[in-house]
Amino acid sequence: MKKIAFASCVSSVIAMSLLLSSCQLFSGYQQIQKADSADKWSTKMYPVAGETNIACIGTYHCEITRIDKKAVISAETHQPVDKAIVVKMPNKKDTPLLDEKSIKLVALSASGIAGLTNYYARVKPIKREVQVNFYPENNLNYVERFTIIHEFVAGTYQLRAYRMQPKKANSSLLANASPNPLCVELIQDGKIERRFCKQVDVERQGEFVETGLFDRVATT
């Protein structure tokens, strides 16, 4: 009787182990499926030889809406216009970009606005026009639109937005009540290449105008 009882106990333990193993395997499969989704952020750009990487940073949310004539991320849905161009983190087995018109998006990080994702773009290095929407507040109804034309080379680029600190206090109550102008810097491989700031003068109010890199501009 003891042998039978022992055998029955061992069978139960084995059956339970198999059941638990099945649950763990299923759970692991779910995690793999989740990891393959666009929500697995790369957290940084992974440059591919001969390519240009372009990201936007510095505000609650930002999105590259257009590169040259091709729509990239929708300003309405805040999602990639074509899901087929969204790829995983680059690796040695990646298929290279086909030509100068090819664009790929890689999920970079979680957005400061819940439910959204920041992406960076992979393109060939040529002169391009890049349009970006910046959201300085946790509010999708407040957007700052920025466009740059630049001769991009192979490497990584960031379009970083920030608020400019004024050089001196302004006595105007209206000026003091308004937020400091928004600036955008083009950073290539960690080095600032160009800077654009919104103008507060009457003639060009609201326009981004390129400024000298040695102007006294500070972040807030």
Report the C-alpha gap between 144 and 44 in whole angstroms.
24
Phi, psi torsion values for 183, nearest 5 degrees:
-120, 155
* Total residue count of the chain as it appears in this document: 220
Contact status, residue 217 vs residue 165, Cβ threshold 8 Å: yes
Q: Which residues contact 156 (CB under 8 A, 6 or more apart)?
A: 45, 47, 52, 53, 55, 188, 189
Nearest to 75 by CA among 172, 153, 143: 143
**What is the full DSSP assignment across 83-139?**
GGGEE-S--TTPPPP-STT--EEEEEEE-SSTT-EEEEEEE-SSEEEEEEEEE-SS-
The pLDDT profile of the chain, 220 residues, written as one tens digit per residue, is 444 444 444 444 434 443 333 333 222 222 222 333 455 788 899 888 999 999 999 999 999 999 999 999 999 999 999 999 999 887 766 667 989 999 999 999 999 999 999 999 999 999 999 999 999 999 999 999 999 999 999 999 999 999 877 655 554 555 555 568 899 999 999 999 999 998 876 555 578 999 887 654 444 4
For 220, counting Cβ atoms within 10 Å of its Cβ (0-12 exposed, 13-18 middle, 19+ buried), the class is exposed
Q: Residue 159 pairs with which residues in a beta bridge? A: 56, 186
pTM: 0.74
Q: Provide the 8-state DSSP code for 47.
A: -
